[in-house]
Copies of this chain bind each other. A is one copy, B any other.
Amino acid sequence: MKEIQKNKGAVYCNLGAWERLSETIKKINPSKIFVLTDTNTKVLCLSLFMTNFDFSEQVVVLEINEGEINKNIETCLGLWNQLSEKRADRNSLLINLGGGVVTDLGGFVASTFKRGISFINIPTTLLSMVDASVGGKNGVDLGVLKNQIGIINNPEITLIDTEFLKTLPINQLNSGYAEMLKHGIIHSEEYWNEVKDFDITDIKNIEDTLWKSVLIKNVVITKDPLEKGIRKTLNFGHTLGHAIESYFIKNKGVKTLMHGEAVAIGMILASYISNKTTGLSKTTTEDITKNILKSFSKTSFSQKDIENIISLLIYDKKNNNGKILFVLLNEIGNCKLNCEVPNNLILEAFKFYKNYK
């Protein structure tokens, strides 16, 4: 059985996982069970959940509109009010069934309702399985600024069932794949080589590779739960990735980028910057760039786009005292934290990305 066992924050994957869910709920003995879905997962994932869930008759289903654009305080307010109207009390349980928006937002709603009720995460996208399933980060966006409001608080357990991945279109799978590639880059040559050659649409055989990604994230987070040091490596590609994502959310006319697609670009840019400043070899920079672009078609940026993206960097949560800090690479599996990067090098990196063939 695939499991990460902790008092709170345990993760179970596939074989035996639904049984563990039942045992956990018996232990919690909740006064009511709420299941949070979004407009997508209510249609695509709820019936699989209900089939496997031993307490499906007791479930009260809640629904929010899908998409990052709804990951905000207004949506939380709607849910807090619904929980209140539907008589949730401190012993109620919230099960978050969905992608990162549902698990991040639902985790925050549960953690703050009546100063905290129990919650369980069932990620249904590849991104949320490999990214949001461990670490306890939850929260919502503030305007276009990602995850500015939230806390760190673990769910009782997280259940991963790769069956849910069959509901996903290819761009959604790719979005999670970007995080798996990142885990390879920050962790080891071995996992990088495994994941870069993996066909992400091969759901039947995804379990082992996906689980290694979860374990890598778990090791990092266990060592540094409060993100004082090594946990920052998980932000590789995210400093520019988040700014790119925010920019395109703000300017919907321009183009819509998924989280993983933005991070994929951010990783190429960070690799280029690493090559110029922290000694990442040209060969590895090429290896990273080439393999990312195998799955992620290129996005074009105007000069104005790039300037606006750079101006968004100031809001990055890793910043300190007005300095914008990057995670860079010495080599695969070896990161350098808190690197200051001058703007002209960022511009150069965008040029490298644009001209790469």
Please report A residues at the B interface, Cβ cutoff 8 Å. 31, 73, 76-77, 80-81, 84, 87, 89-91, 111-116, 137, 139, 142-143, 145, 147-152, 314-315, 317-322
Contact = CB atoms under 8 A, between A and B. Distances in A.
Nearest to A91: B320
B315 A84 contact: yes
Contacts of A147: 115
B151 A91 contact: no
Given A142-B81, A314-B87, A322 B31 contact: yes
A81 B148 CA distance: 10
A250 to B, nearest CB: 14
Copies in the complex: 2
B143 A89 contact: no
A138 to B, nearest CB: 9
A76 B80 CA distance: 15
Contacts of A31: 320-322
Contact of A317 (B77, B114, B137, B139): B114
A151 B148 contact: no
Q: Looking at A77, A113, A115, which has the most chain B CB atoms within 10 Å of its CB?
A: A115
| Residue with the highest number of chain B CB atoms closer than 10 Å, among A139, A143, A318, A321 | A321
B143 A113 contact: no
A84 B76 CA distance: 20
Given A84-B145, A142-B81, A145-B84, A151 B115 contact: yes
B91 A321 contact: yes
Contacts of A149: 80, 112-113
Contacts of A81: 142-143
Nearest to A315: B84
17 contacts: A73-B73, A73-B76, A73-B77, A80-B142, A80-B148, A80-B149, A84-B315, A87-B314, A89-B319, A90-B317, A90-B319, A112-B151, A113-B148, A113-B149, A115-B147, A115-B151, A115-B317
B139 A115 contact: yes
Contacts of A315: 84
B142 A84 contact: yes
Nearest to A149: B112
A239 to B, nearest CB: 14
